[in-house]
Structure 1
Amino acid sequence: MLSEAEIHEKCENIATEAYRGCGQSDILWANNVRTMIDGWLHSITDENERQLIITIAEQHGYSTDEYSDPDMCRHGLDYDCCPCGCGEL
């Protein structure tokens, strides 16, 4: 079981890693954080540790809700401004 300090450090590392490739999109960043934390939680069997991780992760931007906006592409950008060509589909 990880200590609270170790969980904080891992959550900070996940939040930092989530910035890579998100193109400054807060929606994509939040979805990246959620995906990485959910992946980590999948490997945790102790329910008390899971709850502690969730509590600390929420302080670092974790949410179980998937962020979406019907006016934005899956990258969290306006369809016409997405460099991946989402507006062209």
Structure 2
Amino acid sequence: MDSRNQDSLRTRVAIDGHDFYLPSTADLTDVMSRIQNIARTQPGFLTLATTNGIASVLINAVTRVVIQREPTYAPSDAIEPFQAYDPEWDL
């Protein structure tokens, strides 16, 4: 059974290859709407509250933006170390 908690998701906003992680309280619909509005008009700065502080990114019509919800894993969810095969136990 997979012990990872699939309910624990974080939002990654990748803008031209730079990753920004949003806090769980972020309104994703609002962020997407603001990106769309800026991309439709003159270039402008998008300001995001991230998990590391505040980020402002210049957005224009050709800016590549990817928004992804991905699971977060606690350190206890790490893959268990490889167990060497011991032929003496194989009877």
Give the TM-score range, shorter chain: under 0.3
Compute the TM-score of the two structures, normalised by the length of structure 2.
0.25
Q: Which has the larger radius of gyration?
A: 2
With a CA cutoff of 8 Å and minimum separation of 6, indicate the structure with the bigger relative contact order.
Answer: 2
Taking structure 1 as the reference length, the TM-score comes to 0.25
| Larger strand share, 1 or 2 | 2
